[in-house]
Amino acid sequence: MHLLLTPPHSANTSLGVVIGEEPEITVTVGGEPVDAGTVQTFYAGATRDFNYSINYEVTELTFTYPEGWSVSAEEGVITVVSPVDAASGAASGVITATATDGEWTLTVDILSVEAKFPVEPTTAPEVGDYVYEDGTWGKETTSAIGARAIAVVFYNSNPQEFGDAELVKDHPEATHGLAVAINSAAQETRWTNINTFSWILDNITITNTLIAGDGLSADQNPLLGYSNNKVMRLFNEANPEKTQFNAVTLADEYNVSYPAPARTSGWYVPSVSEFIRLCDNTLTDITVILKSDDEEPVVVPYPTAEAVNGKLSALDGAEALSGRYFLSNRQNTSNGYIIVLDDEDGVSSVRGTSSSVADMRFILAF
């Protein structure tokens, strides 16, 4: 995308651009250039990030955009939010960027956008239903307006009743259930290899299970996966020089490929209690499978996960639930629990070490 510059840029050599080079803005997603003429589809209230770069130093960057949309930019990222419904804004339009250094101005269309508004479900979700990218749910592999399935329901009661105060505060509309992503994170990872225990105790007032002590205890039982992930994100933001919680980084990367719908919690790594319900949604006591270092793991069946796998098998490219998964509970000062799903033996737990590697499978409240 080439930009027009006034006055002629050949008179300006102080911006690090070769004389005669036309100013240019590049917009990308996942490293791939975005053509301004290619329509970017958003579902209701969706938020999407686009990377951008400009080969001139500028003092101001502003945008024009369709009514009801929101556009902002920070540190090389343009964030676009679509209207929540047809009454809230335009269904389509063009986003234009204007950059200046005070002496010259450049303007270009950077994105063509359209919003698709969902047909709201008329029935409550059931275990095994798909959750679609437009925020609705149903039994078909695509929604009524053609949105793809991005998750499968494993719990169909109000998750806010479990007492995660941060989930209730941040996403009061997410009351229908819990759903698991159709794929794991892009790569296996370590949980974190540093002691974050003291920082969390000193700086965080959010109730979480990242400060639970060793051993099996009731304080590991709450369904606090959302709060755990929020605490991880706060740690990462406050300590950029330290080893990060990989769960947050991988969830953000996953959201690029599978954007979490509006009116959901967004993707997060489940707590032990949430993952146990993914395995068997009739279980309420996680101590049936958690183990101490000197104990043999207890193995239980996982009928709910098997039902979810049956639904995943109908989706092209979806990954069955199987193998080792990190959870968001702390099991000692610097490691998290690992749950193991074995096709023959059932589900059990492993106590991770600083060198342990496992997958992460995100969930969301909707």
Examine the domain organization and report whether 109 and 152 are in the same domain: no
**Strand, helix or coil at 304?**
helix
Q: Is 123 a member of any domain?
A: no
- CA dihedral defined by 216, 218, 219, 221, rounded to 10 degrees? 90
Gap between the Cα atoms of 303 and 316, Å rounded: 22
Examine the domain organization and report whether 149 and 240 are in the same domain: yes
- Residue corresponding to tokens 């690090």: 16
Query: Pick from 116, 150, 169: which residue ends a domain?
Result: 116
Q: Is 48 a member of any domain?
A: yes
Q: Is 125 a member of any domain?
A: no
Query: Pick from 94, 116, 138: which residue ends a domain?
Result: 116
What Å distances lie between residue 252 and 5, 50, 268, 269, 289, CA to CA?
Answer: 36, 13, 9, 11, 30
Percent residues over pLDDT 70 in the chain = 82
Q: Is 122 a member of any domain?
A: no
C-beta separation of 20 from 1 below 8 A: no
Examine the domain organization and report whether 99 and 211 are in the same domain: no
Tell me, what CATH number does 31's domain have? 2.60.40.10
Examine the domain organization and report whether 97 and 140 are in the same domain: no
pLDDT tens digits for range 2-38: 333 333 333 333 333 434 567 788 999 888 999 999 9
Counting Cβ atoms within 10 Å, is residue 153 exposed (0-12), middle (13-18) or buried (19+)? buried
Q: Is 139 a member of any domain?
A: yes
Containing structural domain, residue 13: 4-116
Number of domains in the chain: 2
Taking 50 as the pLDDT cut, the residues of the chain under it are: 1-19, 214-219
Smallest Cα–Cα separation from 156: which of 134, 184, 135, 131?
Answer: 131
pLDDT tens digits for range 76-87: 999 999 999 999
Examine the domain organization and report whether 38 and 147 are in the same domain: no
Q: What angle do CA 61, 67, 69 make, to 5 degrees?
A: 65
Q: Is 189 a member of any domain?
A: yes
Q: Is 299 a member of any domain?
A: yes
Residue 272 is predicted with a pLDDT of 85
Q: What angle do CA 27, 30, 36 make, to 5 degrees?
A: 30
- CA dihedral defined by 323, 245, 132, 319, rounded to 10 degrees? -20
Residue 28 is predicted with a pLDDT of 95
Examine the domain organization and report whether 286 and 173 are in the same domain: yes
C-beta separation of 325 from 361 below 8 A: yes
Examine the domain organization and report whether 96 and 238 are in the same domain: no
pLDDT tens digits for range 162-193: 889 999 999 999 999 999 999 999 999 887 76
C-beta separation of 116 from 347 below 8 A: no
Q: Is 331 a member of any domain?
A: yes
Cα-Cα end-to-end distance for the chain: 38
Examine the domain organization and report whether 93 and 187 are in the same domain: no
Examine the domain organization and report whether 148 and 71 are in the same domain: no
**Strand, helix or coil at 118?**
coil
Examine the domain organization and report whether 239 and 334 are in the same domain: yes
Query: Pick from 116, 138, 159: which residue ends a domain?
Result: 116
Length of the chain: 366
Examine the domain organization and report whether 100 and 146 are in the same domain: no
Examine the domain organization and report whether 182 and 293 are in the same domain: yes
C-beta separation of 269 from 358 below 8 A: no
